[in-house]
C-alpha cells in the first residue's frame, strides 16, 4: 500500500489516484476538527479560511518535502525527465495518498493522531496569520455597498492536463470593471483576477461616494 501511495499515474495502472481521493477527505475532516477545537471563538468563515490555508496544494507539498516524499516517488519516464518529483501538485497528491494508506492500513485513531502531529505547529500558528483571500474580500466589499457580486467567467485554458493554465475574467457590472487573471487552477485564476480588480473597485467606490456628497 505504501508503494501504491508513492506511485504516480504516469508509472502505471496501480497508482495513487484513488488513495489521493480518500486522503483529501480525511485531511479536510481531521484538520477541520483540529481547528474547531483549537479556536472555539472563531466564526465559520474564519475556520473555513484557516482550513483552506492549512489544506491546499502549496501547504501539502511543503509537508511532503519535509517528509522527503519526492525522493521515494515512482514516476513514469516523462515525469522523471521533467522533474515531476519536485512538482507541487504531484507532491501534494502523494501526501494525500499516503494519509489514506495509513488510514486503510491501520485505523481512524492512528491516522488522526498522525495528521494532528504533522499539522500541530501549523494549526497553533495559524490564527492572525491568515488574511482573507482576494475573492472573499471583493465579495464582502460588494455586499457592504449593496452591489451585485462579481461574475467570474472562464475564457481560456492552455497546456497539457498536468500543467494546465486557466484564464478567468472577473466582471463587476455595477462599476463597469473587468480584469483577467491566470493560474494553475480555475480557483487560482479567479483569485488572481479578484486581486487585480480589488484596487480599482475600491477606487471606483470612493469616487462614487465623493460624487454623492457633492
Over residues 185-210, the pLDDT tens digits come to 898 899 999 999 999 999 999 888 88
Last residue of one domain, picked from the residues 106, 126, 146: 126
Same domain for 120 and 141, yes or no, is: no
Residues in binding site: 20, 93, 96
Concerning whether 200 is annotated as a catalytic residue, the answer is no
Catalytic residue among 24, 79, 167, 190: 24
Q: Is 93 in contact with 20 (CB distance < 8 Å)?
A: yes
Q: How many residues does the chain have?
A: 214
**R_g of the chain computed on alpha carbons:** 21
User: Known binding site for Mg(2+): residues?
Assistant: 20, 93, 96
What is the residue range of 159's domain? 134-213
Alpha carbon of 11 to those of 21, 39, 182: distances in Å? 18, 42, 30
Q: What is the pTM of this model?
A: 0.62
CA atoms of 195 and 9, how far apart (whole Å) = 34
CATH number for the domain that contains residue 84: 1.10.1520.10
**Residue tagged active-site, from 37, 67, 79, 96:** 96
Tell me if residue 96 is catalytic: yes
Judgement on whether residues 120 and 38 belong to the same structural domain of the protein: yes
Whether residues 110 and 56 fall in one domain = yes
Instruction: Verify that 91 and 186 share a domain, yes or no.
Output: no
pLDDT tens string 104-144: 999 999 999 999 999 999 998 876 655 568 898 899 899 99
Amino acid at each position: 500500500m505504501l508503494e501504491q501511495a508513492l506511485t504516480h499515474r504516469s508509472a502505471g495502472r496501480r497508482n495513487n489516484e484513488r488513495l489521493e481521493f480518500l486522503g483529501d477527505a480525511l485531511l479536510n475532516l481531521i484538520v477541520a476538527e483540529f481547528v474547531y477545537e483549537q479556536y472555539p471563538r472563531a466564526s465559520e468563515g474564519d475556520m473555513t479560511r484557516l482550513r483552506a490555508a492549512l489544506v491546499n496544494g502549496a501547504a501539502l507539498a511543503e509537508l511532503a518535502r519535509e517528509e522527503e516524499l519526492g525522493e521515494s516517488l515512482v514516476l513514469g519516464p516523462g515525469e522523471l525527465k521533467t522533474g515531476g518529483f519536485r512538482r507541487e501538485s504531484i507532491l501534494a497528491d502523494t501526501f494525500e495518498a499516503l494519509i489514506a494508506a495509513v488510514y486503510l492500513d491501520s485505523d481512524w485513531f492512528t491516522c488522526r493522531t498522525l495528521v494532528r502531529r504533522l499539522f500541530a505547529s501549523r494549526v497553533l500558528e495559524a490564527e492572525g496569520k491568515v488574511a482573507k483571500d482576494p475573492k472573499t474580500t471583493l465579495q464582502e466589499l460588494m455586499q457592504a455597498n449593496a452591489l451585485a457580486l462579481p461574475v467570474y467567467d472562464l475564457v481560456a485554458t492552455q497546456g497539457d492536463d498536468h500543467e494546465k493554465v486557466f484564464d478567468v475574467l472577473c466582471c463587476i457590472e455595477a462599476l463597469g470593471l473587468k480584469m483577467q487573471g491566470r493560474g494553475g487552477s480555475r480557483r487560482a485564476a479567479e483569485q488572481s483576477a479578484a486581486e487585480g480588480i480589488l484596487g480599482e473597485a475600491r477606487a471606483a467606490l470612493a469616487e462614487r461616494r465623493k460624487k454623492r456628497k457633492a
